[in-house]
Amino acid sequence: MQLVVAILLAAGLVFWDHHSDDLTRFRSHLSVVVYPVQWVADLPSKWMNSTNRYWYSVDKLKGEIKHLRQEQLINLGKLQKLSALEAENHRLRALLQSSDRKNDTLLIAEIMQVDPDPFSQQVLLSKGNDDEVYLGQPIIDENGLVGSIVEISPITSRAMLITDVSHAVPVENTRNGSRAIAVGTGEASRLELQHVPLTADFNEGDLLVTSGLGGKYPPGYPVGKVMKKIYDVGAPFLTIELEPVAKLGKSRQILLIKPGYKESQS
Amino acid sequence: MTLNLAKTICAISITFFIGLVLTIMPMPTHFQWARPEWITLILIYWALYYPNYVGIMTAFFLGIMVDVLSGGLLGQTALALSLVAFSINFVRVKIRTFRHWQQALAILLLVAFKQLIMAWLQWIVGHPPTSTLYWLSSVFSVMLWPVLYLFMQAYLYQFNIR
């Protein structure tokens, strides 16, 4: 009797969760309940980080500060040029009378936990509803696109990585502007382009960035480099494999983007 | 009597909490497939030796917690664990009297059964496991069984639970 109840409930939940998004709220309530577990599981890496910092030698710290200063200088130099370019872009867009692109704002979040479930590629972030994180918000790291938010609770949120099998992102080739859709494969370092005609112009080493079509991701963030291109005359489409440019398995800090057009809406 | 009951429930909850923490503990990407099924093992232990306290319903709620923690389909682990807890009912007496290697084999089958249900559910949804390494975690779980067994004995002795 108990078994029948349990199985019916579980099967119902699986079915419901798979076919609709109604359970998102329920999940976010439950994730508050399990937060202690997440907090405890995050402790060792927190301790590791702090003790690492504690044992840093002065020399090493000095070296790091010097390195960071230099990097900061170089970045500032690049930024000067960028602001000039941005102003020019604004003017040109005004001349063409096309709508202006607003700047995206960024928020830093920490990755608390990487998904133990081998079927999905998700991470848990330390920012939630209270920090104005919203569903579908894109996240990046210092190199490129990481994924987007799929679940929010008041203090944490869960993001799906671009390599998840159920994730797709519209991309365009920086070399020639050809568009495609990059889908995840479930493996940590591989994406695939879907439905690319045999005659399409993609070469190994091409950098693909988000195209901004579909409205979910703002345009221009690097997604991946073409790693392998398989041309099979008998196949209906090209097989193109990408390597994500973001360090998906390595970075602990990521950035949440709030696209400029969202800002102007709210 | 009630004190004893409260103590036992407390002891059981602590082990499950530790199990949940271990389930989501960060692990290097290369060992991702080797993660032992902590929760399944702990559940099997309690359901084997303390069936009065841990049954199908416990397994169900535990499964829901795992699903919320791991971000998988809600209910998939709940379904698998309930079935495991249910099947233990048939083999409990036998497993308890088994020799060690026979017991290990039985545990292997139970954990593999849980993994099979999960894989089967994922297959229905459309994302079956991509590599045979998936089954590795059953093997690792069984290797941990003796350690877990001894630890639990000592733990219960501490709590003075019979």
Contact B63, B118 (CB under 8 A): no
Using CB atoms, pick whichever of B35, B74, B130 lies closest to residue A13.
B74
Does residue B34 surpass a pLDDT of 90?
no
Question: DSSP character for B86?
Answer: H
Say which residues have a Cβ less than 8 Å from residue A166's Cβ, sequence separation at least 6: A120, A160, A184, B127
Does residue B40 surpass a pLDDT of 90?
yes
Higher confidence at residue A43 or residue B106?
A: B106
pTM for the full model? 0.70
Contact A150, A125 (CB under 8 A): no
SS3 A244: strand
Does residue A261 surpass a pLDDT of 80?
no
> Where in chain A does DSSP place strands (E)?
105-114, 122-125, 138-140, 145-152, 157-161, 168-173, 179-184, 191-196, 207-210, 222-230, 238-244, 253-258
Using CB atoms, pick whichever of A34, A41, A188 lies closest to residue B29.
A188
Contact A140, A169 (CB under 8 A): no
Does residue A263 surpass a pLDDT of 60?
no
Q: What do you get for the CA distance between the two ends of chain B, in Å?
A: 12
Name which of A19-28, A138-147, A169-178, B33-42 the model is least confident about.
Answer: A19-28
**Taking CB atoms and an 8 Å limit, are B75 and A10 in contact across chains?**
yes
Chain B residues within 8 A of A13 when measuring between CB atoms: 64, 74-75, 78
ipTM rounded to 2 decimals: 0.79
Q: Report the distance separating Cα B23 and Cα B35, nearest Å.
A: 8
Q: Give tens-digit pLDDT for A228-249.
A: 998 888 888 888 999 999 988 7
Residue from B23, B65, B73 to probe the interface with A (highest A Cβ count within 10 Å): B73
Buried/exposed A12-36: b ≥16 CB within 10 Å, e otherwise: ebbebbbeeeebeeebbebbeebee
Chain A residues within 8 A of B55 when measuring between CB atoms: 2
Mean pLDDT score, B94-121: 90
A250 Cα to chain B: minimum distance (Å): 10
Contact B56, A4 (CB under 8 A): no
Q: Which amino acid is at A143?
A: N
How many other C-beta atoms are found inside a 10 Å radius of the C-beta of residue B34? 14
**Taking CB atoms and an 8 Å limit, are A6 and B121 in contact across chains?**
no
Q: Give tens-digit pLDDT for A167-223.
A: 999 999 999 988 999 999 888 788 999 888 888 888 899 999 999 888 888 888 999
**Taking CB atoms and an 8 Å limit, are B70 and A11 in contact across chains?**
no
Q: Give tens-digit pLDDT for A56-105.
A: 778 888 898 999 999 999 888 888 888 888 888 888 887 877 666 667 78
